[in-house]
Amino acid sequence: MVDHAFGGIAIRHLYKIFGPNAGAHVEAVRNGLTKTELNERHGHVLGLSDINIEMPSGSIQVIMGLSGSGKSTLIRHINRLIDPTAGEVLVDGVDVVKMPEAELREFRRHQTAMVFQKFALLPHRSVLDNTIFGLEIQGVSRAQSIDTAMRWLERVGLKGFEKKYPNQLSGGMQQRVGLARALANDAPVLLMDEAYSALDPLIRTDMQSVLLDLQKEIKKTIVFITHDLDEALRLGDQIAILRDGEVIQQGTSQDIVLRPADDYVANFVKEVNRGRVVNVEAVMAPLGAAATGGPSIPAGVTIEEAVRTLASAPEGDITVIDASGGPVGTVTFRQLAGAMVNARETNDHAIAIAATAA
């Protein structure tokens, strides 16, 4: 792993049909047979249909969808807990689908680690012994595993709990054990299957921060499954939205909120706090003739943060500057406030302003 850069994950033309004779129906589905038709005519269930997702190394890919959308099925294809009916799953350039049994086991031991919705800890083992489970399976010596495990337990905030049993811990703490167990494996891919869905909202936010903090340091390729859009927007470098086994939109959180692909996504996005997601570039007026001398904020800042800056700044425009310090645009309090309420109108407004400025 030291001299080899991990190549990310690519899912290509993946199909999953549930039923006794799944393989026979792939061609029909490729040619446009719908999920309902497949179920009515052949009694097979279409789980995933033509999934294509590229997950670059070192980023968090969120897969979002409601229950029954196929998201948990999809994540199980990455370590082949579920066999696909057709398609490729390339992890670091190797097709997981074609791996023989023994190779698949080695792959799971060293390339992936998984965190589960229901924690799936071993109730008869202490926190420490749960954490070393993956290393034990790999055949690492006990002394060395304990070293690694203690480091990760401390990192997720469980120092002093290593002798406890899972049932003696709260849900949030149990999931920290699940996270430590996965991290101890030191695999480049971290699969998180609705890892935080069973937690209380406050603890969930807390665990999201833990993950984001960790990711700055570990830079793993994380696949995160969730049904919660706020969670998806907060964590995801990239988001894929799944519905009825099909990807209906892929993109960054900005893309999803500002340009929902269809009514289904738009409906989802409606209730989202835009101020926390949308960056100032989306609402700023391009740098026009107007000279700027007022306060400035860096590009990439969210609207909410910009409002916070502006609230304590003198009246007037605020300049958006890029990484090198050069100005790229201006934004007003009115534009920011408008964006938090409804993005589309603000965009129109921004265009109008840009037009008058030009």
Rounded CA gap, 289 and 167, in Å?
65
β-sheet bridge partners, residue 299: none
Separation CA 217–CA 156 (nearest Å): 13
- Residue 190 or 229: the one with the smaller Cβ distance to other proteins is 190
* Smallest separation (angstroms) from other proteins to the CB of 134: 5
Q: Which stretch binds other proteins (CB under 8 A): 112-120, 152-160, 217-225, 232-240?
A: 112-120
Q: Which part of the chain contacts other proteins (CB under 8 A), choosing from 2-10, 116-124, 219-227, 236-244?
A: 116-124
Contact letters for other proteins, residues 139-178 (x by CB under 8 A): --------------------------x-xxxx--------
Give 304's contacts (C-beta < 8 A, 6+ positions apart): 273, 275, 276, 340
Amino acid at 247: V
Q: Which of 124, 216, 356, 358 binds other proteins (CB under 8 A)?
A: 124
279: DSSP letter: B
Q: Which is nearer to other proteins, 134 or 329 (CB)?
A: 134
Contact 62, 256 (CB under 8 A): no
Is the separation of the CB atoms in 303 and 340 below 8 Å? yes
Single out the residue of 49, 61, 69, 79 in contact with other proteins (rule: CB under 8 A). 79
Sheet holding 318-321, edge to edge: 285-286, 327-331, 318-321, 296-298
Using the minimum distance from each CB to other proteins, give the nearer residue, 27 or 106: 106
- Residue 116 contacts other proteins per CB under 8 A: yes
Q: Which backbone phi and psi does 118 adopt, to 5 degrees?
A: -95, 25
* 192 touches other proteins by CB under 8 A: no
- Residue ranges binding other proteins (CB under 8 A): 79, 81, 105-110, 112-114, 116, 118, 120-124, 133-134, 136-138, 165, 167-170, 185, 191
